[in-house]
Amino acid sequence: MKEVVLQKFAEVYGDTEGAQVYFAPGRVNMIGEHTDYNGGHVFPCALTIGTYGAARKRQDRKLRFYSMNFEHLGVLESSLDALRPDPQADWTNYPKGVIWAFGEKGMEVPVGMDILLNGNIPNGSGLSSSASVEVLTGFILRDLFGFEVSNQDLALIGQYSENHFNGVNCGIMDQFAIAMGKEGHAIFLDTADLSYEYAPIRLENAKIVIACSNKKRGLGDSKYNERRSECETALAELQKECHINSLGELSGEEFEKARGSIESETRRRRAKHAVYENQRTIQAVQALKNNDVAAFGQLMNASHVSLRDDYEVTGIELDTLVEEAWKVEGVIGSRMTGAGFGGCTVSIVKDEAIDAFTARVGAAYRDKVGYAADFYVVEIGDGPRRL
């Protein structure tokens, strides 16, 4: 891929003199969905698919961006003196947001850059192509300009840029999983205080399979912000009788005792999901430590049911993929992953069942939804790096 990116860089920008090539992964969250902004635990891992980028410094303040995934847009130009969100700037609002965020944190980028990206994450799939671009941009800035920031800082700067530049009220999970990825491990992250541990994922004779629904969704214009605000209101109502800072601090029993203080049935269900999903995530990591992949799979299934019934973020596409997966012998667990309303499912499938899984789930999906899903057998990879 390095050669492909450099060849295109030379084609677009004239030569490759001074250009370096970088990679940042995509991520999939194994369990712990919509818990990251509720002060709960998440359990994501970095993937071996992600975003490749070539970049070099310029002598002026011009920024030039080109994506091999959006070749029809050509070179999109901007400047260090025009770092504001602009609908015309399309995908470049993500890297521009990170450059802006570095400046906000006291790290002014002194000169412009030529940047070319090529991602092999399915776009709009919910595998965090935007967070991958953010972490990649931060890594490039650190490498080219010598800024003293840790990988954890890169995650926080990426989240800051998405919140304050792109107006998406996302939690920390995506950027953290990408910046801190470790091959063969998922990250058990407590989003309340960013304490984390790496947990090895040992799937003997099984693989992680991602099914992309091919229903596009945009986080900013989805019901994502609405769900956040429902949880915030539920938390404020619970705080009248519980001394808590987040929903993630409650056990199931504590929630059941106090749930009456939440005034609407809808908000009660939203809060219930946040509380119980957090408990499922803690149990799931323990199951893996006990080498009990079957128990982990059962918790994945329960997670999907809660996201479908209590949080209501699945929809016919994701429900079809998961419910058809549950019918296939050799599927250990399956659930939607990401924000929902489209995007992907993640399943753990025994090696001998993978072909039957993709064939049967794929056919049922096409019959019910009217177009095809795409399937990816993925590996767990490392975080960002220079190639």
Active-site annotation, residues: 174
The secondary structure of residue 339, as a DSSP letter, is S
Handedness of CA 170, 175, 178, 180 (dihedral sign): negative
Handedness of CA 60, 65, 71, 72 (dihedral sign): negative
The answer to whether the beta carbons of residues 205 and 221 sit under 8 Å apart is no
Task: Count Cβ atoms within 10 A of the Cβ of residue 356 and give its class: 0-12 exposed, 13-18 middle, 19 or more buried.
Answer: middle
Secondary structure (3-state) at 346: strand
- Report the distance separating Cα 27 and Cα 50, nearest Å: 8
Tokens of residue 312, six digits: 């209501």
- Report the distance separating Cα 152 and Cα 169, nearest Å: 19
Tokens of residue 18, six digits: 């001074």
CA-wise closest residue to 350 among 295, 288, 290, 297: 297
Q: Which residues contact 148 (CB under 8 A, 6 or more apart)?
A: none
**DSSP count for the chain of H helices, then E strands:** 11, 13
- One DSSP character per residue, 307-320 reads HHHTS---HHHHHH
The answer to whether the beta carbons of residues 314 and 199 sit under 8 Å apart is no
Residue 188's H or E segment, with its range, is strand 185-190
Q: How far is CA 337 from CA 74, 225, 287, 317, 324, in A?
A: 32, 17, 19, 13, 16
